[in-house]
Amino acid sequence: MARTALVPIEEYLRTSYDPDVDYVDGALEERNLGEFEHALVQAKITAWLDAQCLSKRLFVVTEARVQVAPSRFRIPDICLMRGWPKSGIITVPPLLCVEILSPEDRLGRVEARIRDFLAFGVPAVWAIDPVQRRAWTYTKDGVEEANGSVLKAEEIVLDLGEIFSEIDKLRG
């Protein structure tokens, strides 16, 4: 992942990047995305969460800027929110952030993103590897690999096996 020269926070906030980038203490960090498997898993989980959460007055957003610290903005693949942000940027910890790994992702870099979310107050972060079909739940208490592909975050329980089974059916 490329890091560019330091950029003032005001410039980052008024600039559109395609695809959007994280902002970490003045540096822009590109995110791995754009691969089909990543996009499909993201779409399926987003749809599943959206269907489960409507009755709970929760809502799901994808690839939204989350200000995790005064000089840090992260863009998780998926966020589960309880309330509407006061601005175009999420400044209140989401209930859940989901990171879907790409083959090029390095563990240290993904874990740095996860630490930022947890330090910000996000209660749970799911990390999902669609290629290896493994998943983990990170909380302030540590990390736990999904037991039988079941991921939990507060009242939300996702059977990732169902998502992968759906994908297998589409694959034929």
**Amino acid letter at 83?**
G
The string of pLDDT tens digits covering residues 59-118 is 899 999 999 999 999 999 999 998 888 888 999 999 999 999 987 777 788 999 999 999
The string of pLDDT tens digits covering residues 150-168 is 898 888 889 999 999 999 8
pLDDT (0 to 100) of residue 53? 81
Q: Are 164 and 133 a contacting pair, CB within 8 Å? A: yes
Domains in the chain (CATH in brackets) are 33-171 (3.90.1570.10)
| Of 118, 57, 46, nearest in space to 82 by CA | 57
To the question of pTM greater than 0.85 for the whole model, the response is: yes
Q: For residue 153, report the phi and psi dihedrals to the nearest 5 degrees.
A: -155, 105
Tokens 């996009």 correspond to 39
pLDDT (0 to 100) of residue 4? 56
Taking 80 as the threshold, does the pLDDT of residue 170 lie above it?
A: yes
Residues 6 or more apart whose CB falls under 8 angstroms from that of 16 comprise none
DSSP letter at 96 equals: E
pLDDT (0 to 100) of residue 125? 97
Distances (CA, A) of 60 to 54, 95, 108: 9, 10, 26
